[in-house]
Amino acid sequence: MTLVGTLLCFAVLFAQEPTPPKKPAPPRRPARVSVDKLATTPQVVTIIHRLNGLKMFRLLLRSEEPVQSIAALDSAFSLMNDVHTNVIAGLAMDDGETIAAWLPEAEVEFAPNEPDISVIGPDGKRLDAKYIGLDAATGLSILKLTDKNALPPSPIKDQRVSAGENVVVFGPEPVTKARALVGGNLYVRMGAIQGRIKDVLTAPSGEVAKFKIASPRFSRVNVGGVAVNDAGEMIGIVDGLEGSDATILPAALIKRAAQRVLEQQASVPRPWLGVKGEAVSALKLEQILNHGWEMKRAADLAGKHRGIMLTSIVPGSPAARAALRAGDVILKVDDKEIENADDFTWWLDQAGPSSFVEFTVARPDRPSEEPLNVKLSGRLDPAFSFDLRNRDITTNGFSLIDQGVETIALKPPVASQLGTTAGLLVVYVEPQTPAFEAGLQPGDVIQSIDGKPVSDFKLATPRASFKFDIVRNKQKLVVTVPTKKK
């Protein structure tokens, strides 16, 4: 497949300038952004985020349709140089230093290395920023500008929103005949799409949970855009698209997300219970009976139209440890009535990861409701959580994933293009693992393990270490990696 030009987020506005063979790439200068149509609100900034070839491969491994091998590459492709640039709208928070933005690949690409990222202010000035972490409950990434007072503080208020109001969604768009120049200069401008508030979803707490903006011009590239009302006040960030309707995360939730990440100075997982369920109001009487409820109690439960019936429990999850079972109905969370799945998700998110919640539970084999205390755990949103074991290439009794090593297979033509022979290209090595300590690096190509080609290697008996024959920068090396203890 051809990798250059792959679209992962917003608009691709950067193309790798072909580099003559055996000549170093020219030094990169700061990106420049034209300011002819920047938003009038000082809260809207532009984020330039570059990814090199290795990071792109890692994203492909974790995509919905994962790529396990690379058969062809664009002639301009380079593992270590930029092959893709995301241009994203960002929101400057009240302090003028904190930036909230929608960066879907954050946890994949950023950890453990600092990202190649810049923030462009409304005046076109380039500002250095540090990635702090992801708030999994909202999907927002939080950045911190290196220089204090780089942007003027601009209070973010919880603006009321009503159906029928006119709004503008700001987001980067390419300038006519946009092009990337040698040295990495990037020319973009802030575009604006007019829309109208369509639906407002109220949370069980009474505040706005989300709202929708309708416009026939919306497309996937508008996800992450900043929504502003007629008065120039920020009212939210686009976090999804349903047809021609953009769903908006309101200001109050954005501020909470920033606060959570800044308090931890790290990514904050989403609270996790480990259940699947359906609202009782959406179930037929027969479905309730099939979960072990007798007729009279099932009819009474169905008639009240409240609660979430659990249909399955994840083994080892907080729900399993609390002895929740399929057929149980959660009626309340911390004494707050639950009518539907949105209510249930909302109150769990407000509780936060690693917190205790009290459920009021009705059970098919118990005559009365009972309280149940559960300690939630945390996990990143499914969009950022991946099970790579089913995608592991070396599966003959030995898993590189178990050793903290993520790889992608190179077909002979691609390997030759990169100056090696066919093998497994290392795209990531988990820090603090034996492989990392032994010196295995992203960019290495594993050609054999204990003297056998990777495709033929089988783990017959447990071993204290493995010998990896690798190619690094066109040189053959041997790296001995102690076995990672489980």
Rounded-to-integer distance, Cα 368 and Cα 482, Å: 56
> Phi and psi dihedrals of 211, rounded to 5?
-145, 165
Q: Is 57 helix (H, G, I), strand (E, B) or coil?
A: helix
Rounded-to-integer distance, Cα 314 and Cα 424, Å: 34
CA distances from 198 to 193, 201, 216 (A): 15, 10, 13
Q: Which amino acid is at 481?
A: V
**Under the phi-then-psi rule, with left for phi > 0, alpha for psi from -120 to 50, and beta for the rest, what region is 320?**
alpha
Rounded-to-integer distance, Cα 399 and Cα 406, Å: 10
Q: How many CB atoms lie within 10 A of CB 216?
A: 8
Domain ranges of the chain: 11-264, 270-379, 389-482
Beta strands in 126-285 (DSSP E): 126-135, 140-145, 166-174, 188-202, 208-214, 226-229, 234-242, 245-250, 270-272, 275-279
- Same fold: 11-264 with 270-379: no
Rounded-to-integer distance, Cα 340 and Cα 350, Å: 16
Q: What pLDDT digit, counting tens, does each position of 100-150 carry? A: 998 866 555 554 455 577 888 887 788 888 889 889 889 899 999 988 878
Residue pair 76/39 in contact (Cβ under 8 Å)? The answer is no
Scanning 62-134, the segments in alpha helix (DSSP H) are 106-109
The closest alpha carbon to 48, from 148, 156, 187, 169, belongs to: 187
The per-residue pLDDT string of the chain (486 residues; one tens digit each, 9 = 90 and over) reads: 333 223 222 222 222 233 333 343 443 433 333 333 344 567 888 888 776 677 667 666 655 455 556 666 665 566 655 555 677 888 999 888 999 998 866 555 554 455 577 888 887 788 888 889 889 889 899 999 988 878 887 778 777 889 999 999 988 775 544 343 333 445 556 788 999 999 999 888 888 999 999 999 988 888 889 999 888 888 999 998 888 899 999 999 999 999 999 999 988 888 989 999 999 999 999 999 999 999 999 999 999 889 999 999 999 899 999 999 999 999 999 999 998 888 999 999 888 888 999 999 999 999 999 999 999 988 764 443 434 344 444 444 567 877 888 888 887 777 777 777 778 888 888 777 888 888 998 888 888 888 888 766 666 566 788 899 998 888 889 999 888 665
CATH architecture label of 389-482: Roll (2.30)
Q: Which CATH number fits domain 270-379: 1.10.8.420, 3.40.50.2300, 1.20.1560.10, 2.30.42.10?
A: 2.30.42.10
> Phi and psi dihedrals of 347, rounded to 5?
-70, -30
Rounded-to-integer distance, Cα 294 and Cα 412, Å: 64
What is the CATH number assigned to the segment(s) 11-264? 2.40.10.120
Rounded-to-integer distance, Cα 146 and Cα 392, Å: 39
Angle at 189 between CA 15 and CA 41, to 5 degrees: 145
Look at the chain and count its residues.
Answer: 486
The closest alpha carbon to 446, from 482, 413, 408, belongs to: 408
Residue pair 219/241 in contact (Cβ under 8 Å)? The answer is yes
